[in-house]
A and B are shown apart, each in its own frame.
Chain A
Amino acid sequence: EAGVAQSPRYKIIEKRQSVAFWCNPISGHATLYWYQQILGQGPKLLIQFQNNGVVDDSQLPKDRFSAERLKGVDSTLKIQPAKLEDSAVYLCASSFFKREGGDTQYFGPGTRLTVL
């Protein structure tokens, strides 16, 4: 079974530029998550989709970050314009359903963003 795919793996941009990340979840997984992980910290949830609807975006900086999940499959996360503090690893995860005890999240390898 193929895992969660993300691209690109690395991205370097200047501040105030725009950037987009792509995620392809595991086939059949209805729930998709985007996390931001700053060096030395645990991942922080930015947005959670159930199919193509947003169920939690409370920690998404909506003035510069946007995300969409068309047709309930692939997803893109965009930053416009980028700031220095956006330098981080952006992780995508997906899960199948909420079984007893909570669903298991499967993570992609992440995209490492450096903002200069």
Chain B
Amino acid sequence: DAKTTQPNSMESNEEEPVHLPCNHSTISGTDYIHWYRQLPSQGPEYVIHGLTSNVNNRMASLAIAEDRKSSTLILHRATLRDAAVYYCILRDVMKTSYDKVIFGPGTSLSVIP
């Protein structure tokens, strides 16, 4: 299974943009890039996903490198509520009928008021 690498922790000031990087140098052509986040004392929640093109939704933007070996989750204006652990996950939906979601340790984001 292709692996992802993320920094252990990052800090951001409130109301400033945050760029959370993820490296996935062994990504295959059929791997989708998914991001989840986990707020304190809660289960993870879906944020965004993409294949090749950049993606935007109400929560965040996902920028995918042209060679797809890295991606960046962008929070346009960090709020205190965005303090969470962010997980970057690869999903190979073509590999088997039921692909396994493998969570790494993620990036712990702190937001400073």
Contacts and interface: CB of A to CB of B under 8 A. Distances in A.
Interface residues of B, number: 26
11 contacts: A31-B98, A42-B104, A42-B105, A42-B106, A45-B102, A48-B100, A50-B98, A98-B93, A101-B50, A101-B91, A106-B46
A56 B43 contact: no
Interface of A: 4, 31, 33, 35, 40-45, 48, 50, 55-56, 91, 93, 98, 100-102, 104-110
A46 to B, nearest CB: 11
B43 A45 contact: no
B1 to A, nearest CB: 12
A106 B101 CA distance: 13
B21 interface: no
